[in-house]
Structures are given as C-alpha cells and as structure tokens.
Amino acid sequence: MTLRLHDTLSGETRPFTPIEPGHARIYSCGPTVYGPAHIGNFRSFLFADVLVRYLRFRGMRVTWVMNFTDIDDRIIQRANEAGESIEALTERWIAQFTADAAALRMTTPDVLPRATRHIDEIASLIGALEAGGHAYRTDDGSIYFRIASWPTYGRLARLDPAQMRVGERVEADDYGKDDVRDFALWKGPRPNEPTWDTSIGPGRPGWHIECSAMSMRHLGETFDIHTGGVDLIFPHHEDEIAQSEAATGRDFVRTWLHCAHLRLGGEKMARRVGNIARVADLLAAGVSPRALRYVLISVHYRQAVDYTDSSLAAASAAVDRLDSLVTALETYRESAGNSDPSLPEVLAAGRQKFEAALDDDLNISAALAALFDLVRDLNRRIDARTLSTTDARSGLDLLRDVDRVLALLPDAPAELDRQASGLLAARKVARDERDWVRSDALRDELLARGIAVEDSRDGQRWRRVDGAR
RNA sequence: GGCGACGUGGUGAAGUGGCUUAACACGGAGGUCUGCAAAACCUCUACUCACCGGUUCGAAUCCGGUCGUCGCCUCCA
C-alpha cells in the first residue's frame, strides 16, 4: 500500500510519490506572530504534524518547513499601539507559539524561516516577476502582481476572476492598481513602518510573496507538499502559485493539502468572530494537553470539527483509556506463563489496519478505531492472564510504535518523587497487613497529589491524572 | 450573486454499491472481577443512515429534486 493524498488543485486523491525518492519536502504556512495562535490554527499545524510523523513512520525522510510571518500590517499596528519594537513583539509571540506547539507535542519543523530574514530572496523573486512582465509599480513605490498576466489564476480556488466579487472598500493604499484584484508583492515605504533597502527599491514585502520565497529557498522551485487551512486557498495559495510559477516557469507544488476549520459555537473559530480558545489559557484551566491534541487530530483533516466541552471530555476519557492500558502492560508480570501464541498475529494485524487507514488520505478515525480494537484485545488478554511478561512488553512496544504518529501516550515511565513513592510503599505495607482504613487513606492522599492508584493482580499500579478535565 | 463542502445512534465519528440488519470513541443501563475503589472485561444502547423520487437483483453508499448547516469569493490556519 502507498499513501494516497487528496490534492486540492486537481481535486484528486492520488498516490504520493516524492520528487526525490524517499524524501518528502513539505511546506506549511505557519503563524503570523502578532498575537497568540488559537487552537483552530493549531488544528492545521497538528494536521501537518501528523502527516510528517506518518511519513517518517513509513520510513521516509522528511524536510518540513514552517514559516513565521513576522512582518505584516497587523504586526506593525500592534507594535505601534503598544509602543513596542516589532522585533520584541514578534519574538515574544514566537516564544509563545513554540511553547504551545511543544505542549501539543507538535514535531519541531526542520526549518522555521522568518520573512524578515528572507528579504533578499523576496526582492529577487519580485525582480524576476517584473522582468517577466507579471508585475508593475505604482506611484507610492509598491509593486503589484498583474493577475491578467496569469491565465490559470483562480484554478486552485475554482474561482473565475471575472466573477469574483470585489470588496466594497478600496483602501487608500490600494489606489493606483491596474485592477482591484491585483495583489501587493511589495509595499512602498511609509511613515512609521519598517523599510528595507533592496534591489527593487525600498519598502517591505507583501504577505503572499514571503511564502513563495521561503518555500523555494528551502525546498526548491518545485516541492512535494504544501499545507494550510482551507481559508488560505484563496487568495494566499492562489497567489503563491501565480507568482511562483510566473517567476520560475515551473510547477510550484505537487500536492496541496488543506485542513478544514475548527468551529466553536457552530462557526469557524476566528479572531474576528471572537470565538477563539488559546492553548495556554486552556492548559492553565487544567485541560490536559494530550486530550487537547486528541481533540484536534482525531477527526479527518478535511472534515470540520466542532470544539465543545463534551468533545474535550470525550477526548480526555479516550486518552485515559490508553493510559490505563499502558500502565497495566508496564506492571504486568506473569513469570509462569507461556507466550500467547495468537498475540503476534493480532499485533501485526492491528498495525496493518492502522497503516492502511492512514494510507487512505490520513483517515485517522479509522486508524484510531484500529488502535482501540487492539486496546480492547490487549485488555482482554491481560484480564485472562494469557500473556507472558514478554508478551506484555511486545504489546507495549507496538503501542509506542504507532504512537510515533499519534503522540498521545504518556511519557516514558515517569519517576515518582520521594514522598509519593514513600506513600506508595507505606500503602503496600498497609495492604499486606490488610489495614484497609490506612490503605484507603493513603490512596486518597496520593490521588490528591495527582496520582491514581489501582490494585491489580500485579500489585499496585499508578498513573498520573490531570486535575480538571 | 458565484463556487464548494457537509447532513449517519444520546454525542463525536468511520463506512461511499453486496463482507456492514452500520466500525471506533464518549455517554447511559445491567452484569463479572475486587476488602472497597478504580481500571478492565461481558451484555444491551441506530430494523437505520436529513427528506422525497429514481437507477439497480441489491443503496447510507449512484442520479435528480427539496430542506438544513457550514465555508470560500475580504485579513484569516
């Protein structure tokens, strides 16, 4: 089986074959660092994360690039309002993003380019567009891309440029464009705005051009996969295609992948709507980061997801179920037992189902179903005591293996602090003496410390539980 | 106005022509195990896939229509 992916441009789901055999080059549109990313943004980043993880799981080398947009209108506005430098502002929000991403176990991209560090590449790209007759200058020193010069403009979004509604408001700075639908490649210098002196003159980059410049700089003129939220299809990605292909004369991206929206209250989560939830706030409120990750990745990426309290609670319970199994397998001891003869087959079949599901355009719901089928099967065998200690280890190994893609399992066996392990030891003594009152009191005390203790045939087993769920 | 996606149980969601009288997760009811608890396991929890009509030996799955929801056409993940 090979991985099949749904390409937005062609509308087809087709086998993924990287340009360089065994090496996938992926670009993901990253955050504009003018404020905190919300969990809707993170849905699209985590979708790319799962893709990258899965390709690596399948043995492929992956170069993953995710940019930071660290110069744009909103950033300038925020910095001016706060009387803060743009650098200080963007550094702060990059740090916040990095922390949020880490909490959600997002793989760190191989390259995290910033627009302000690719001004030369941007300028030379715009220069090439000018030379090719695809761009023109206006009186204020801005440079625009001429949509009329690109016949296939609108193909990605399936929009007919002639039918496009033109926004009612025409901003003052857009004055002088040949066509209102033309988009800015370069913005001429203005008071209270940063300016770079470049080969194409002074000014600052427009939004779309940075992604073309950075992706091509780090991945080549044609690369394998470009990801983003569906709201980036138009105009952002449409513009990227036009300007990149017009500049190089080559196909820009082989496969376009777009993630559907996260909704809250029935609407797309968006700052404008005001229905946003931030990672840091949720974590501060006691939400388990792994449960949050589960909510964000557990539905197919092209399907809109509603974020609700009950979806979070359900995710939390599902993650707990995984945790319980991990703990049970880790503590399982059956010295007398022989190996369970049917186990290897069950594990192999489970893994195969998991892979087959993800191969089908990253059908993660089906992959999770395969995982949970395996969870039930392993729990049964634990209950029935048919496993050997080694078998339990094999089961655990498989869970850890598929978790390279999911990143939902608890971290490798955590150490208990001295006090907690003391309490646990004391409880064992109490239990050996059948002192139930003391045993129960110690259990309560451990729970108050966030450690749930359960008694099993393998003795006491414990796992960490998060406070509020 | 143009374009597109979607509508499956109490909830989320997979399935897109026969293997499904519909996975998996959450929730609910009952039971087993256990000093208790928790976890786990077992049984049950949609004769049905928005609605109407059609194609077919056969449809949740294909076609047409109706209703509804959401998204894009403007900054947006």
CATH 1.20.140 assigned to A319-406: no
> Which tens digits make up the pLDDT trace of A227-248?
999 999 999 999 999 999 999 9
CB A360 within 8 A of CB A302: no
Structure letter (DSSP) for residue A233: I
Residue A67 three-state SS: coil
Integer Cα distance of A201 and A142 in angstroms: 9
Q: Cβ of A202: how many Cβ atoms within 10 Å?
A: 12
Q: What is the average per-residue pLDDT within A302-325?
A: 95
Provide the CA A208 to C1' B76 distance, Å, integer.
Answer: 13
The protein footprint on chain B, as nucleotides within 7 A of a CB, is 1-4, 6, 11-15, 23-27, 34-42, 69-77
Q: Say which amino acid occupies A241.
A: I
Residue A85: Cβ-neighbour burial (10 angstroms; 0-12, 13-18, 19+): exposed
| φ/ψ of residue A432, rounded to 5 | -60, -30
Q: Say which amino acid occupies A436.
A: W
pLDDT of residue A165: 62
Residue A178 pLDDT level (bands cut at 50, 70, 90): confident
Q: Is the predicted pLDDT of residue A272 greater than 90, yes or no?
A: no
Partners of A13 in the β-ladder: A6
Which of the nucleotides lies closest to A324 (Cα–C1')? B39
Q: Cβ of A439: how many Cβ atoms within 10 Å?
A: 21
> Which tens digits make up the pLDDT trace of A425-458?
999 999 999 999 999 999 999 999 989 999 999 9
Residue A400 pLDDT level (bands cut at 50, 70, 90): very high
CB A373 within 8 A of CB A364: no
Q: Which of A27, A180, A205, A12 is nearest to A120 (CA)?
A: A205
> Which tens digits make up the pLDDT trace of A19-46?
999 999 999 999 999 999 999 999 999 9
| φ/ψ of residue A166, rounded to 5 | -95, 130
Half-sphere exposure for A131 (CA within 13 Å, toward CB): 11
Q: What is the average per-residue pLDDT within A267-292?
A: 94
Looking at chain A, the whole-number percentage of residues with pLDDT higher than 70 is: 96
> Which tens digits make up the pLDDT trace of A82-113?
999 999 999 999 999 999 999 999 999 999 99
> Which tens digits make up the pLDDT trace of A340-379?
999 999 999 999 999 999 999 999 999 999 999 999 999 9
Q: Is the predicted pLDDT of residue A464 greater than 90, yes or no?
A: no
Q: How would DSSP label each residue in A369-396? A: HHHHHHHHHHHHHHHHT---HHHHHHHH
Q: Is the predicted pLDDT of residue A172 greater than 60, yes or no?
A: no
Looking at chain A, the whole-number percentage of residues with pLDDT higher than 90 is: 88
Question: Does ipTM surpass 0.90 in this model?
Answer: yes
Which of the nucleotides lies closest to A164 (Cα–C1')? B73
Q: Is the predicted pLDDT of residue A468 greater than 50, yes or no?
A: no
Residue A354: Cβ-neighbour burial (10 angstroms; 0-12, 13-18, 19+): buried
Q: Say which amino acid occupies A166.
A: V
Q: Say which amino acid occupies A70.
A: D
Provide the CA A461 to C1' B40 distance, Å, integer.
Answer: 13
Query: Which single residue has its CA nearest the C1' atom of nucleotide B26?
Result: A314
CB A447 within 8 A of CB A454: no
pLDDT of residue A412: 73
Which of the nucleotides lies closest to A365 (Cα–C1')? B14
Provide the CA A407 to C1' B74 distance, Å, integer.
Answer: 37
Which of the nucleotides lies closest to A361 (Cα–C1')? B14
Integer Cα distance of A30 and A43 in angstroms: 12
Residue A469 pLDDT level (bands cut at 50, 70, 90): very low
The contacts of residue A288 (CB under 8 Å, 6+ apart) are A316, A319, A466, A469
User: What token pair was written down for A327?
Assistant: 């703990």
Q: Is the predicted pLDDT of residue A466 greater than 80, yes or no?
A: no
- What CATH class is the domain A10-280? alpha beta
Q: Which of A253, A260, A287, A211 is nearest to A364 (CA)?
A: A260
CB A287 within 8 A of CB A330: no
pLDDT of residue A180: 83
pLDDT of residue A175: 59
| φ/ψ of residue A463, rounded to 5 | -150, 155
Provide the CA A157 to C1' B55 distance, Å, integer.
Answer: 33
Q: Cβ of A375: how many Cβ atoms within 10 Å?
A: 20
User: What token pair was written down for A298?
Assistant: 């557990």
Q: What share of chain A is helix, strand, coil (3-state, %, to 5)?
A: 50, 15, 35
Domain ranges (residues) in chain A: 10-280, 319-406, 418-464
